[in-house]
A and B are shown apart, each in its own frame.
Chain A
Amino acid sequence: MAKIEAAPLLAIRSRRLEGLRREERTLGIAMLAPALAYIFLLVALPFALAVVLSLTNSSAGSLDFSFIGLRNFANVVESPVFRRALRNTFVFTFVSQLTVIVLGNVLARALMKTFRGKSIVRFLILMPWAAPISLATLSWLWIFDSTFSVANWLLKVSGWLGPGQWYYWLGDPTLGMLAIIVIHVWRMLPFSTVILLAGLTSIPKEVHEAADIDAAGPFAKAFQVTLPMMLPLLTVAVLFGVVFTFTDMSVVYLLTRGGPYNSTHVLASLAFQEGVLGGDVGRGASIAIFLLPVLVVMAVLMLRVSRRTEVL
């Protein structure tokens, strides 16, 4: 008796479930739609517009423009200032991120130990990443001031700079580049350190104990145990670090304005100078487009990491 009644009841229930599931899906789409619409209208379309503008002679004065094909790119590539900016962008990113990863590993390992005042140290070390970059850069501008530089005072006192010797940090291409790299390292180091720290703490104790039982030396342990387990997070730290440094313009813009003689520009600051200050929108857009290949590579790598670990 019970069996006979159960069958239609189940059918009704599964039909109801089907209806409920469809309802849920509609609700899901409805809840997602505003955010997706916004992202489409204000990220995807402007992104496409950036590409379109780079193919036009658009200027700040008027809203009409005509297509001129790849002429912007041809002009830009010929310009020595652009080539210098392209090189600088890679140099700044590569040198600062390499330094950040090495120092970040050292610092994260040091922070693994327990010691008194650790939470305060963690807060202080994190400050460069949390503070607004444009304001932090001002502080560095003052540290590297041409007359009142505290860096120079230290070098004078320590005897590095003899009488009559002086560093014009922001008036010299090499020193200017060095200053920019120092700021990028200063700013990104906290970010990498906390990510690497999250990785180190996620390695179970048993793994270290097993390595100890197998009598692994410190180097074997570092390179054959810790490093492989840290690799996903190391990649995450590097990828974000590269993206943030590669596309940044505030440090260069506020510290040197790309000077002296346009020697410290990066792609982003040059695009701003030409496209916004200079009013040549097409040319500015074509310079900014050069950021794209590296970003695409970074996005692909990030997807790889996320796939290997199943979910990002």
Chain B
Amino acid sequence: MRRRGLRGAAATVGHRLLILGFTLFAVFPFYWMLITSFKQNSDLYVGATNTAHNPFIFNAPPTLDHLRILFGRTFFPTWLGNTLTVGIVVVAITLMLAVPAGYSLARLTGRWGERLSIGIFLTYLVPSTLLFIPFSRLVSTLGLQNSTWSLILVYPTFTVPFCTWLLMGFFKSLPKEVEESAMVDGCSRLGAVTRIVLPLSVPGLLTVVIFALTLVVQEFVYSLTFISSVEKMTVSVGVPVALIRGDVYYWGSLMAACLVTSIPIAILYNFFLDRFIAGFTVGAIK
């Protein structure tokens, strides 16, 4: 009895240590962003050969200088604005395309719609690194190079397929009787959708909005390819490409920019995680 208790305790300790190890691995780069953002330069640039100087803690009092520089003297606020503008427009386009398509695939198209929906889902697998070359031709033919319109044109290529898929799953999960009873009461199909189905689908629509928004903030390849003027960049490209002035790294401000952008996205994403995962795994679980 006593031995089993000991063994159980050892297993618990092992389990906690395992969890701790994985958590530290996952979080460390974010901790590094955090501590770098608030360290004075004299505390940051010591050099790793000095083993007496512990880089994990504040050796000098923390400072807000890097944040002040980031928001006051760099293009970071502009980039945030650009990203948000592109994000909102792309989300609107995505909803306009994906909501009707998702509903249609869930309720109106039957057998061939099912095959089509898998086809649409597979287009999500076509990577930006395969399409950026033809897109750069297309964008310059349309005269959109170095314009955020190019991003607005292209970003729905990765938001629409997955969001259509997510919404289709969501509409399928609503009972059919909801629309049918409205239609018996004299509503047309479209009327039933706008008056009954959409209000019931707010959680699903919200999931899609968040998902599309995070994808836009995360996107790097197209933005890097199409946008060359510093003031037109999005956050994910502006920070790594244009925040570094000359060959001196402004690591404090740089890490502050990463922190300020990553944390809200991670929190938003976490709220809707279970729905995204459901989108990736529909049907693979029975």
Contacts and interface: CB of A to CB of B under 8 A. Distances in A.
B46 A113 contact: no
Interface footprint category on B: 35 or more
Contact of A243 (B125, B221, B273): B125
Contacts of B273: 126, 194
B104 A138 contact: no
Q: Pick from B128, B131, B137 the residue with the most CB of A within 10 Å.
A: B137
B78 interface: no
Contacts of A235: 284
A138 B265 contact: no
B283 A127 contact: no
B254 A138 contact: yes
A235 B239 CA distance: 35
A225 interface: no
B47 A134 contact: no
Given A115-B19, A243-B125, A138 B240 contact: yes
Interface of B is mostly: helix
B137 A63 contact: yes
Interface stretch (B29-37, B59-67, B196-204): B29-37
Interface stretch (B2-10, B84-92, B155-163): B155-163
Contacts of B121: 312
A39 B160 contact: yes
Contacts of B182: none
Contacts of B47: 147-148
Contact of B236 (A134, A202, A306): A134
Interface in B233-286: 235-237, 239-240, 249, 251, 254-255, 257-258, 261-262, 265-267, 269-270, 273, 277-278, 280-286
Given A32-B105, A42-B154, A138-B254, A194 B277 contact: yes
Contacts of A299: 122, 125
B101 A276 contact: no
A258 interface: no
Given A194-B273, A288-B133, A128 B26 contact: yes
A153 B141 CA distance: 51
B126 interface: yes
Contacts of B126: 43, 47, 295
Nearest to B109: A28
Contact of B133 (A53, A122, A147, A250): A53
Given A43-B126, A47-B126, A247-B130, A32 B104 contact: yes
A145 B249 CA distance: 10
B104 to A, nearest CB: 4
A284 interface: yes
Interface in B72-107: 96-98, 100-101, 103-105, 107
Given A31-B100, A199-B285, A46 B135 contact: yes
A254 B254 CA distance: 14
Given A186-B25, A276-B133, 10 more contacts: A32-B105, A35-B120, A42-B156, A53-B133, A129-B269, A143-B29, A195-B277, A233-B281, A272-B132, A312-B283
Interface of B: 15-16, 18-19, 22-23, 25-30, 32-33, 36, 44-49, 51, 55-56, 96-98, 100-101, 103-105, 107-109, 113-114, 116, 118, 120-123, 125-138, 140-141, 153-154, 156-157, 160-161, 164, 189-190, 214, 217-218, 220-221, 224-225, 235-237, 239-240, 249, 251, 254-255, 257-258, 261-262, 265-267, 269-270, 273, 277-278, 280-286
Q: Which 9 A-B pairs have the closest CB atoms?
A: A28-B108, A247-B127, A35-B101, A268-B129, A31-B100, A130-B269, A49-B134, A131-B262, A153-B48
Interface of A: 23-25, 27-29, 31-32, 34-36, 38-39, 42-44, 46-47, 49-50, 53, 58, 60, 63, 103, 106-107, 110-111, 113, 115, 121-140, 142-143, 145, 147-150, 152-153, 156-157, 166, 186, 189-190, 194-195, 198-199, 202, 232-233, 235-236, 240, 243, 247-250, 253-254, 267-268, 271-272, 275-276, 281, 284-285, 288-289, 291-292, 295, 298-299, 302-303, 305-306, 309-312
